[in-house]
A and B are shown apart, each in its own frame.
Chain A
Amino acid sequence: MSSATDDAARWAELFGIAAPPGEEEQSTRRRGLLGRLKDSLTRPQQAISPQLAGVFAHKLVTADMWDELEEALISADCGMDATLALVEELREEAGQGRIVSGSEVAPALAKAVKAMMAPEPPKLEIGDSPTVILVVGVNGSGKTTTVGKLAHRLSELGQRVVIGAADTFRAAAVEQLAVWADRSEAQLVRQAPGADPGAVAFDAVSSARARGADVVLIDTAGRLQTQRNLMEELRKVGAVVSKADPTAPHHTLLVLDATTGQNGLSQAKLFGEALPLSGVILTKLDGTAKGGIAVAVNRELGIPIVLAGVGEKLEDLHPFDAEAYARAIFSGPESAETPR
């Protein structure tokens, strides 16, 4: 199967909408998450982590091998809890004779990670218009860029997009978003720097309703999850959006940097307390062979990963594919290649 058409289909499936005609042709230029990840992972200096390579090189299953696997998973930021669960599961399989060598650990691990993360493909339904999507996260996680990419994707799928520039705090955040809006042919709703973010969000939703737009993407200012007043502000943005439309926000997405360590758990927990999270967007997956924090967040807080960012270009955002992710990150490029 070609991953390009696969990707377009995945987008349509993610949003619960039909892909417009011609999409298939256009998307031959693009490759799915698997392809992009493989690219970044097969660059000369980078394969899977040396620790995992070491595990897979074992001829026979030994106690040392399990220790090494544990270390490798921790080194991928999976966290203690998820790591122990994964190792335990694989040990059981080995006990039943299904794993006898290190090389067999690779596919089994990918399978276990996938099962732990997402038995079902992620969903981000675009329903009755306008669907309001609130994008939240800590400073520098990649919210603005992600909003730009998401707007681009939605526009390509024939959706009319309004972007609300509710990051009124960071210098030039609105200008940055304006560039992205321009590139993705989305309508930008903005106010002066320092304006009330709730007011911007309200404006964006009202304006989208007036124009009959399909989707409203609201970019919020980055904030550390421990800043109580800023988290309160975020809660207020959510409440104000609900005033404009009682069913909104329809989705609240947390943007999580894939290079984040165990603090990602605190981020997901505290942002979730401010506003119920419908999913996580894992960004900068191209910069690291890890991103295991996604496994930990998914396991401990039950929040699904819906999208993955793998580069700086407009096209570099993909519906999260747990299998591609698990294979690319935890089994290495060789096994990521095989079934294509």
Chain B
Amino acid sequence: MFDSLSDKLQGVFSGLRGKGKLTEADIDQAMRAIRLSLLEADVNMAVVKQFTKSIAERAKGSEVMNSLTPDQQVVKIVNEELTTLMGESNVGVPFAQRPPTIVLMAGLQGSGKTTCCAKLARYYQQQGRAPMMVACDVHRPAAAQQLAVLGEQIDVPVYREDGSDAVGIARRGVDEARSKMRDLIIVDTAGRTVLDEQMMDELVEIRNTVKPTAVLLVLDSMTGQTAVEVAQAFQEAVQFDGAVLTKLDGDARGGAALSVRATTGRPIYFVGTGEKVDALEPFHPDRMASRILGMGDVLSLIEKAQQTIEVEDPKALEKKILGGGMTLDDFGQQLAQIRKMGPIGQLLGMMPGVGKKLKDVEVDERQIDRVQAIISSMTPSERRRPEIINGSRRQRIAAGSGTSVQEVNQLLSQFKQMRKMMKRMGRGGLPQLFGT
């Protein structure tokens, strides 16, 4: 929906190309683009003002003014400053020196606390901890039931009661977890608005009762300008130690992360990236910075690829492909592995630059289904040496895959083209291919 910062800055600076030196007024115009970009990403107004001020000072230095590519220089500075401001990478929840570690979850309604409890439990369970969850949300109907179901899914015990005394449940739940020698106790609480004093008092009382090792603020990444007030109010009431940013698998730019960080100085521990219980990832400030600026998320893409694609010997495969020796077998495998990473459209969206151009392009997954069917309908020798595929083989393959001879022909000619291209790349033809 919105242009990325680099697109915006390109617009600002494109008129200035060949003009020689930049003026301060040019920089001011660039700052307006940055301001707009950050506001569209829901970074808080006050934070934006502060931030653009410090960027302007740096940008007016010689590195931008004398650069041939001022837009790139500005993007670089913004990205760097944003990453620094986002804080340390990969900070985990602090653990108690003497177990158990008690973690108290807090947040607005619908921010994702209950799901987050289960994700955290799962995350630390896989690291060898013995978690237990305590269901203290006595306000939302069936909240305790939800936590119990999630606990069962991941095999983590849940303490729950039927009553409405959240503080008492918290105390008894923690006692029970201690007696069971659990070393990580995660206390779920009801969602509350920061304006509701009674509910905020309840949270304070729970905190005073269970004396948590850490209080976590769970924040929806789609939150708007109000993120600052929310963070400040929770900060004041329960002094949270760090935040978890949820629902980052959507298209929210997540400026709220920056707002929280800049106004409270608290780190972001984790990000929630999906509905499944294992969709919790450590926070990476650099990735968050590019995301806020709408500049794609190459690192996440690479990581996703590393997790899902199993290449036995990447070097050998590369050599084979670039030597023009790629077979339809290799091609079919690659296709299958790429698809394992998720819908192609989503992958394209993660690539910088591509996101904008292809955002509205429908990727027809069924077309890829057909290609895979055609390849599967070939014999191993046909896949290795496609040139042996003659007319009658084509007919058989088309019939076997439920496609037409034309479609088979099309795939074969595309594959031939691709093989040629790869071979040229292998000979160092890469620059010609993509231009310099």
Contacts and interface: CB of A to CB of B under 8 A. Distances in A.
Interface of A: 40, 43, 45-46, 51, 71, 74-77, 79-80, 138-142, 145, 169-173, 175-176, 178-180, 224-229, 257, 259-267, 269, 284, 286-288, 290, 292-293, 312
A169 B146 CA distance: 11
Contacts of B366: none
B230 interface: yes
B223 interface: yes
Contact of B142 (A141, A172, A257, A264): A172
A142 B122 CA distance: 26
Q: Report which residue of A79, A140, A227 has the largest number of chain B beta carbons within 10 angstroms of its beta carbon.
A: A140
Given A45-B195, A46-B195, A172-B146, A262 B41 contact: yes
B346 A228 contact: yes
Contacts of A227: 249-250
Given A176-B140, A176-B142, A180-B141, A226 B251 contact: yes
Nearest to A260: B222
Contacts of A261: 42, 222-225, 227, 252, 255-256
Contacts of B226: 77, 259, 287-288, 290
Nearest 6 pairs of A and B residues by beta carbon: A261-B224, A140-B110, A287-B193, A261-B42, A179-B141, A171-B149
22 contacts: A40-B195, A74-B45, A138-B222, A172-B143, A175-B141, A176-B143, A176-B146, A179-B141, A224-B247, A224-B249, A226-B346, A227-B249, A257-B220, A259-B223, A261-B252, A261-B256, A262-B2, A263-B250, A264-B222, A267-B222, A287-B195, A288-B229
A293 B251 CA distance: 16
Given A261-B42, A262-B40, 7 more contacts: A171-B146, A172-B145, A224-B250, A226-B346, A261-B255, A263-B222, A293-B224
A81 to B, nearest CB: 10
Contacts of B111: 140
A310 to B, nearest CB: 10
A175 B149 CA distance: 11
A175 B250 CA distance: 27
Nearest to A225: B250
B225 A43 contact: no
A284 B225 contact: no
Interface string B234-255: 0000000000000101111101
Nearest to B112: A140
Contacts of B393: none
A176 B147 CA distance: 12
A45 B250 CA distance: 33
Contact of A225 (B2, B141, B251): B251
Given A140-B112, A172-B142, A226 B225 contact: no
Contacts of B223: 259-261
B216 interface: no
A267 B252 CA distance: 10
Contacts of B250: 138, 224-227, 263, 266
B108 interface: yes
Contacts of B195: 40, 43, 45-46, 286-287
A265 B110 CA distance: 19
